[in-house]
Amino acid sequence: MDILNEISTFVQRYSEVWNETDVGHRRRVIAELWSEDASHYTETLEAHGHDAIETRITEAYGEFVGTGKYVFKALDNAASHHNVMRLQWVMLPQDGGKAAALGTVFIVLGGDGRILSDYQFSDEL
């Protein structure tokens, strides 16, 4: 597999976990994508380890996706070098329409290819 396919697959899986309806599957994907001691940061919160990251993602799902209002999608502009990845996401109404939110994520990967640090930033629409 070439690096562009690897990046695309990783970004797709990362994006899908935020929309995942099955709690057990969400938990498994978190363990596959994030290292055990990974950290997730936003401007207002920190989540450390699988349990806290799962709680963070589950809360975001409940607030935005589980209500039937929105879906998260990754934009097709991810880039990666030296174990750091940048991707952008958009939150769209599930029934179509203009974006409700836009953000950028910077991810630091460990030697095993899993996330060590995950920094989310909200961007201007």
> Could you read off the pLDDT of 11-70 as tens digits, one per residue?
999 999 999 999 999 999 999 999 999 999 999 999 999 999 999 999 999 999 999 999
List domains and CATH numbers for the chain: 3-123 (3.10.450.50)
For 103, counting Cβ atoms within 10 Å of its Cβ (0-12 exposed, 13-18 middle, 19+ buried), the class is middle
> Could you read off the pLDDT of 55-87 as tens digits, one per residue?
999 999 999 999 999 999 999 999 999 999 999
Tracing tokens 């940061």 back to the chain, one arrives at: 41
Report which secondary-structure segment, H or E, holds 78.
Answer: none
d(CA 92, CA 70): 5
Q: Model's pTM, two decimal places?
A: 0.93
Q: What is the mean predicted confidence (pLDDT) over 89-115?
A: 97
Residue 112 makes CB contacts below 8 A (sequence gap 6+) with 35
